[in-house]
Structure 1
Amino acid sequence: MNTGYSRTKATQSKPIKIYNTLIEAGQYVVIKIPVGRIPSGNIISIKAHVYRGPRIGPCMVALGGVHGDEVNGVEIVRRSIEQGVFNHLYAGTVIAIPLLNVHGFINFSRDVPDGKDVNRSFPGNANGSLASRVARIFTREILPVIDFGIDFHTGGRGHYNYPQVRFNPDHAPSMDLAQAFGAPFTVAGKPIKSSLRRTAVEIDKPIIVFEGGENLRFDEFSIQQGILGMKRVMKFKGMLSEAPDAEATKNFTYTAWLRSPRSGMFHLLKSSGEQVKKDELLAYITDPFGEERTLVVAKQGGYIIGHNNTPVISQGDALFHIASNQKPKILTLKPKTRNPKPKK
């Protein structure tokens, strides 16, 4: 057990208990929580870094790797530990978990071996699948201790997300956290059934979700935005004495995916972070033989908060995730194909 703070400065705050380990004010402890065995017999464990400040304050969880292939979230929490972001808390407690889905991480997979999604398995079951057992461990050991949290994610396979925070608009504490984070984009949206965010808000514990970058690929801009936003939240909660100011945040109420009208090779002309207007050309799709070209145009204005990075796409694939404050129309395009060869 290592101590990261002077115990003489600690107040009379009560110790917290995680997996049969008591952590007092002023302590830093690393706790390994076993969640199961893989077929080889090796035990998979979740590693939680617990930092307790010298004064009474809230308890935050900083969580990465709920989806094993979303490495930017893992790196945000890992780098925060390495850089000592939590070493000098003014007050309160931080539980930093860089990697929740260990099996998915070592197999370059979003999910666990049986195809189950950890973030669709909450509150979990101790006798269920590996995903359900991972969710259950978090629900049993971490969720009762915390007051709020930040869950760090990236875009899914082949999709890039511009740095953004998602929150439950029907829960005022979640909204406050999202605004304090100060991400470039803030997006309102009700939590998905059986997700961590849904499970937490049902017991009035706000957890916001940060999205930034693409799976299996580091994105330095997203990593930095995640670390800076977390610092701002901690300052807002009185846990840090200072944090960098945020630039202007754009707030959105609605989002919708613009989907592909045909299969082919996808050529981007616009990308995430850019504003678009109705009928603006965003991309085009070609066949592999140079005979046809299909234009992809915006059906309404807004900002692109995510886009498809896959060069070869199929009809119906999600191409652009567009956010606005107007209720979206159905954004599936009808093919508008033209011959790219000039007329003689």
Structure 2
Amino acid sequence: MARPKAITILGETVLPGESKTINMEIARLHTMTKLKIPIIVERSKAEGPVVLFTAGLHGDEINGIEIVRQIIARKINKPKTGTIICIPVINVFGFVNKSREFPDGRDLNRVFPGSKTGSLASRFAYYLLTEVIPHVDYCVDFHAGGASRFNAPQIRIVPHNEELKKLSDVFNAPFTLYSKNITGSFRSSCDKLGVKMLLFEGGKSLDINMDIAGEGIEGAKRFLDYFGMLNPRKQAKVAPAPSIYIEKSTWVRARHSGLFQNRTAAGKFVAKGEVIACITDPFGKFEHKVKAPNSGYIINSNDAPIVFQGDAIFHISQMLTNSIE
């Protein structure tokens, strides 16, 4: 068996069997305060894949950050074989400001592959792709729903990719959605560079939900165990049921503005015509019932107390297949 090679990130070398935290410093705050992005590298002496766990691409998606934090704190990132790289907070500027975007107003997940001399967000994308991703074989990127919308725990993969489907089966989140890569996204750039990525969605922005975090952590353990990388002191739990694959889904939008009373939690199966929410005015003049347009699983629900006409309030599946064919 060939000996594992040294890994060099931002000029710092990590040898097999070593642990090292490499701080990525690209820019400072306007106060001249340094902002460091820790890249936590744990290597086994034994040859194996390189797996990257990332979160905080959007700075307000705290739940993903909590998942990667627990992976580190519980020493799940100490590999039996291969290398595990963790970046708990990619968009540290957004994290500091509790904001989705970078200070330049750009969504980091729309500027990949970035540019060495471009906008602040573009520079971060460039260094992530040129310094870290060339070493990576597999990546799990953790996200949460935005704008008060709560995502049921789910993996997203592109359709018609059998290897990603197999990896999704291994991770075995409660749901798996087929979704195309978006131009400028981290997932799209990783795909073009040959890195196999699973995108995990769960919970909502500016919130920590421990049930969602648990789903992400257990999925990560199953993922590592599949490659023979899981720390022998840890144990991957078998998921209670196969992932439910969703090939087609639709958004339910508010027909009225008003106070929003959500009666249906994300992850629940609803029947066509079932009342899933109610929209009222603050003066007691009307109550509008929101009914499920079809039978399916609620994979995203809006937790906002006030909605406007046209707001997305539920994401519901339309076609279901089981992960075991």
TM-score (norm 1): 0.89
1:312 match: 306
How many residue pairs were aligned?
Answer: 316
Q: Secondary structure at the match of 2:25?
A: strand
1:245 aligned partner, one-letter code: V
2:271 match: 277
2:24 match: 33
- Cα shift at 1:11: 7.2
2:34 match: 43
2:261 match: 267
1:199 match: 189
1:265–1:313 contact (8 Å) kept in structure 2:
yes
Equivalent-residue separation in structure 2 for 1:148 and 1:228 (angstroms): 17
1:243 match: 236
2:175 is matched with which residue: 185, 189, 192?
185
1:149 is matched with which residue: 130, 139, 149?
139
Q: Which has the higher contact order (CA 8 A, sep 6+)?
A: 2
Equivalent-residue separation in structure 1 for 2:141 and 2:160 (angstroms): 18
1:291 match: 285
2:323 match: none
1:136 is matched with which residue: 117, 126, 132?
126
CA deviation map 1:224-270 (0-9, x unaligned): 11110001011112212552111212111112211000100111121
1:243 aligned partner, one-letter code: A
- Cα shift at 1:276: 1.0
Equivalent-residue separation in structure 1 for 2:118 and 2:25 (angstroms): 15
Equivalent-residue separation in structure 2 for 1:57 and 1:170 (angstroms): 27
- Cα shift at 1:43: 2.7
- Cα shift at 1:325: 1.3
1:226 is matched with which residue: 208, 211, 216?
216
1:216 match: 206
User: What are structure 1's unaligned runs of at least 5 residues?
Assistant: 1-9, 327-344
- Cα RMSD for the two superposed structures: 1.4
2:236 aligned partner, one-letter code: A
Residue 121 of structure 1 pairs with residue 115 of structure 2? no
- Cα shift at 1:37: 2.0
Equivalent-residue separation in structure 1 for 2:172 and 2:223 (angstroms): 9
- Cα shift at 1:187: 0.9
User: What are structure 2's unaligned runs of at least 5 residues?
Assistant: 321-325
2:86 match: 96
2:290 aligned partner, one-letter code: V
Equivalent-residue separation in structure 2 for 1:320 and 1:209 (angstroms): 20
Q: Secondary structure at the match of 1:37?
A: coil
Residue 76 of structure 1 pairs with residue 70 of structure 2? no
1:48-59 paired onto structure 2 within 5 Å: 48-59=39-50
Equivalent-residue separation in structure 2 for 1:257 and 1:53 (angstroms): 45
2:17 aligned partner, one-letter code: G
1:61–1:149 contact (8 Å) kept in structure 2:
yes
- Cα shift at 1:117: 0.5
